[in-house]
């Protein structure tokens, strides 16, 4: 088998190199992806120390609260059923309790969080159910799930995958350490179980809004570029311009709406999607988008051109030449074609950001080795790098990390970082 594997790789080499050169991806392959093979190997090998006892305590604590919620949900439903079954839950909520806004899916009623959130004022069972599901997820996937991966060295060694995603990002499995909770405080606490080894500390650095900065650069939009050169709160600036409000009078609602529009732009804007996200009508969403494009006209032109280019060539590219084919644009299905358009707008942005952090990872990894340091890169979470740094090396390593991330490439806007140092992933995240 080993002979067969190596024979296939050997025989395929010439053909693959030829194809990479033909598609202008050879430099990307040689300068970014090949070195990254070794960087990811080093990260997997090093692993991250994880406190098994703390996970057990956390799991037991969750079990108590889940039990209470379970009891209360059964009482309010008037019977016992499997809360983990969307099918059974749907029948209880929309047939037995007769709650409004029932929406059908393929298999029954939708009990998605976005649906249930509209029902919180109709019945106390709703909030209990939403909390139950969060805690059940927390216990099964994180508290209990992660514990199964802790090895004899008290570490978790995730697998990083280099050839999975359509955009050039890496992914993580067994376990996935790229989706550890952070948004809700109770769930975020699970990050305390991830710690540096004895004599080491964590240094964490994350790019500030790297995708919007990539968009500013690629589109060349003067207004957005200038905004990034003068002010750090880009969502507030956008709100000020889009809603014609002086900067210091922007309300928190206006800012949060502008933020949603910024996200929408990166995802490949659609009035349907924005409307759904903000819970407003499609028409209102259209007005937001129109105002946005009036504020940043070169972004509209850039996104329109990406779609045209994709329709013409059949693919889009990142700054570093990574391609994503988009066959959906040729589909006879309207929804599929619209999906293709959003992909054409999103992939060059998400993919370029992925290329940039990969360059930084390679340089950081190489520099740590060149200088014979014991500190090591241990995790990447799309726009964030986590280093386990020897205490004596802290200042030097921090400097390496910041320098390589900021200077991974030169854009028309600065690449800013958030950096922090701490004794566990909760403190630095």
Partner DNA sequence: GGCTCCGCTACTCG
Partner DNA sequence: TCACGAGTAGCGGAGCC
Pick out residues in 2-61 that bind DNA (CB under 7 A): none
Q: Which is nearer to DNA, 130 or 394 (CB)?
A: 130
Scanning 63-71, 232-240, 269-277, 405-413 for contacts with DNA by CB under 7 A, the matching segment is 269-277
Q: Report the alpha-carbon distance of residue 389 to residue 197 in Å, rounded.
A: 9
Scanning 70-78, 367-375, 378-386, 407-415 for contacts with DNA by CB under 7 A, the matching segment is 378-386
Contact pick of 229, 256, 276, 281 for DNA (by CB under 7 A) = 276
Cβ(207)–Cβ(383) below 8 Å? yes
Of 102-131, which residues contact DNA (CB under 7 A)? 105-108, 110-116, 130
Q: Which is nearer to DNA, 29 or 263 (CB)?
A: 263
Query: b/e for 336-372, b at 16 or more Cβ within 10 A?
Result: eebbbbbbbbbbbbbbbbbbbbbbbbbbbbebbeeee
Query: b/e for 221-242, b at 16 or more Cβ within 10 A?
Result: beebbebbeeeeebbbbbbbbb
Of 339-358, which residues contact DNA (CB under 7 A)? 339, 342-343, 346-347, 350
Q: Which is nearer to DNA, 76 or 396 (CB)?
A: 76
Q: Report the alpha-carbon distance of residue 387 to residue 366 in Å, rounded.
A: 13
Q: Report the alpha-carbon distance of residue 264 to residue 258 in Å, rounded.
A: 10
Does the protein bind DNA through residue 192 (CB under 7 A)? no
CB of 266 to DNA, least distance (A): 7
Does the protein bind DNA through residue 264 (CB under 7 A)? yes
Does the protein bind DNA through residue 373 (CB under 7 A)? no
Does the protein bind DNA through residue 260 (CB under 7 A)? yes
CB of 73 to DNA, least distance (A): 13
Does the protein bind DNA through residue 310 (CB under 7 A)? no
Cβ(184)–Cβ(426) below 8 Å? no
CB of 365 to DNA, least distance (A): 19
CB of 111 to DNA, least distance (A): 4
Compute how many residues bind DNA; rule: CB under 7 A: 74
Contact pick of 221, 355, 384, 388 for DNA (by CB under 7 A) = 384
CB of 38 to DNA, least distance (A): 21
Scanning 20-28, 221-229, 375-383, 389-397 for contacts with DNA by CB under 7 A, the matching segment is 375-383
Q: Which is nearer to DNA, 393 or 429 (CB)?
A: 429
Q: Which is nearer to DNA, 266 or 373 (CB)?
A: 266
Does the protein bind DNA through residue 308 (CB under 7 A)? no
Does the protein bind DNA through residue 179 (CB under 7 A)? yes
Of 137-176, which residues contact DNA (CB under 7 A)? 137-138, 140-141, 145, 161, 164-167, 169, 171-176
Of 278-307, which residues contact DNA (CB under 7 A)? 278
CB of 167 to DNA, least distance (A): 5
Q: Which is nearer to DNA, 196 or 275 (CB)?
A: 275
Tokens of 345: 């707008």
CB of 391 to DNA, least distance (A): 26
């Amino acid at each position: 088998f080993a002979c067969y594997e190596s024979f296939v790789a050997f025989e395929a080499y010439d053909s693959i190199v030829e194809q990479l050169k033909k598609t202008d991806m050879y430099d990307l392959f040689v300068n970014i992806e090949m070195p990254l093979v070794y960087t990811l190997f080093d990260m997997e090998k090093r692993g991250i120390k994880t406190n098994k006892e703390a996970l057990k305590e956390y799991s037991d604590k969750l079990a108590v609260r889940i039990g209470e919620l379970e009891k209360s949900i059964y009482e309010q439903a008037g019977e016992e059923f499997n809360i983990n079954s969307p099918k059974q839950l749907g029948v209880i909520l929309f047939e037995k309790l007769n709650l409004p806004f029932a929406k059908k899916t393929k298999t029954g009623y939708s009990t998605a969080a976005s649906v249930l959130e509209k029902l919180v004022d109709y019945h106390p069972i709703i909030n209990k159910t939403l909390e139950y599901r969060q805690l059940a997820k927390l216990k099964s996937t994180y508290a209990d799930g992660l514990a199964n991966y802790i090895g004899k060295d008290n570490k978790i060694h995730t697998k990083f995958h280099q050839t999975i995603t359509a955009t050039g990002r890496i992914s993580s499995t067994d376990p996935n350490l790229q989706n550890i909770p952070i948004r809700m405080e109770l769930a975020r606490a699970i990050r305390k179980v991830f710690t540096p080894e004895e004599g080491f500390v964590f240094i964490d650095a994350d790019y500030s809004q790297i995708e919007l900065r990539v968009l500013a650069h690629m589109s060349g939009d003067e207004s957005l570029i200038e905004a990034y050169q003068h002010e750090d709160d880009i969502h507030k600036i956008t709100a000020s311009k889009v809603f014609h409000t002086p900067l210091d009078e922007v309300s928190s609602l206006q800012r949060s709406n502008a933020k949603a529009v910024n996200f929408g732009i990166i995802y490949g804007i659609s009035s349907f999607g924005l409307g759904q996200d903000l819970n407003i009508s499609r028409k209102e969403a259209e007005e937001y988008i129109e105002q946005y494009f009036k504020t940043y006209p070169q972004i509209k032109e850039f996104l329109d051109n990406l779609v045209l280019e994709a329709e013409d060539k059949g693919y889009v590219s990142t700054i570093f030449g990574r391609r994503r084919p988009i066959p959906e644009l040729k589909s006879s299905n309207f929804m599929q074609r619209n999906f293709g358009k959003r992909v054409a707008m999103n992939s060059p942005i998400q993919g370029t950001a992925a290329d940039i952090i990969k360059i930084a990872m390679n340089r950081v990894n190489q520099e740590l080795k060149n200088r014979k340091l014991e500190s090591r890169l241990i995790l990447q979470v799309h726009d964030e790098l986590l280093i386990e740094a020897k205490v004596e090396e802290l200042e030097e390593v921090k400097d390496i990390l910041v320098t390589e991330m900021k200077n991974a490439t030169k854009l028309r806007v600065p690449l800013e970082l958030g950096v922090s140092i701490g004794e566990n992933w909760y403190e630095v995240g």
